[in-house]
Amino acid sequence: MKMFKKNLSADRQDSKGFTLIELLVVIAIIGILSSVVLASLNSARKKSRDARRVADIKQIQLALEMYYDANPTTGYPTALSALATTYIPVVPIDPSTQVVYTYAALGSGTSCTSYHLMATLEEDTNNVLDVDSDAAAGTACTNGGTDAAGTDPIYDVKP
């Protein structure tokens, strides 16, 4: 009878697999590491979108100045769409909301002698917020849109 009796302890020593506990520990470690990586990627994506917003605002600002130089009697356009094709190929839009940036032509009557251009940043600790206009709302010229205050986290510029 001893000959048919199986030695259980010998079988356990010969097994070459992982235990359930070992597998669960490895899966938990992988889960924790992946959540840390994803959190870092999300922050990097926000910074990337903010950098794009700042670059877009500077590109629009340059197009506005070219428009003003070409139209000194009327001044700045009442809408950003007036810049398209002649001064800028396409008016940039916000990378998250897919909406045109906030713009108001300022002045009196039909003479738009100034403007206020704004983009809301996702990271309110961005260094560019320290050097932007932070402008109060101004008086819009005829059909120049509605102006708003440019308090942080809004990156705003004026001429």
Tens of pLDDT along 71-80? 988 899 989 9
Residue with tokens 């590491």: 33
Tens of pLDDT along 3-29? 555 555 555 555 678 899 999 999 999
Mean pLDDT for 110-129 is: 85
Tens of pLDDT along 134-159? 766 677 776 666 666 666 688 878 88
Beta strands in 4-101 (DSSP E): none
Beta partners for 118?
102, 156
Residue with tokens 């002649």: 86
Distance, in Å, from the CA atom of 96 to the CA atom of 60, rounded to the nearest integer, reads 18
Percent of the chain's residues with pLDDT above 70: 82
- The region, left, alpha or beta by phi > 0 then psi within -120 to 50, assigned to residue 144 is alpha
Alpha helices in 6-19 (DSSP H): 8-14
- pTM comes to 0.74
Please state, in angstroms and as integers, the Cα–Cα distance from residue 33 to each residue in 28, 29, 30, following that order. Answer: 9, 6, 5
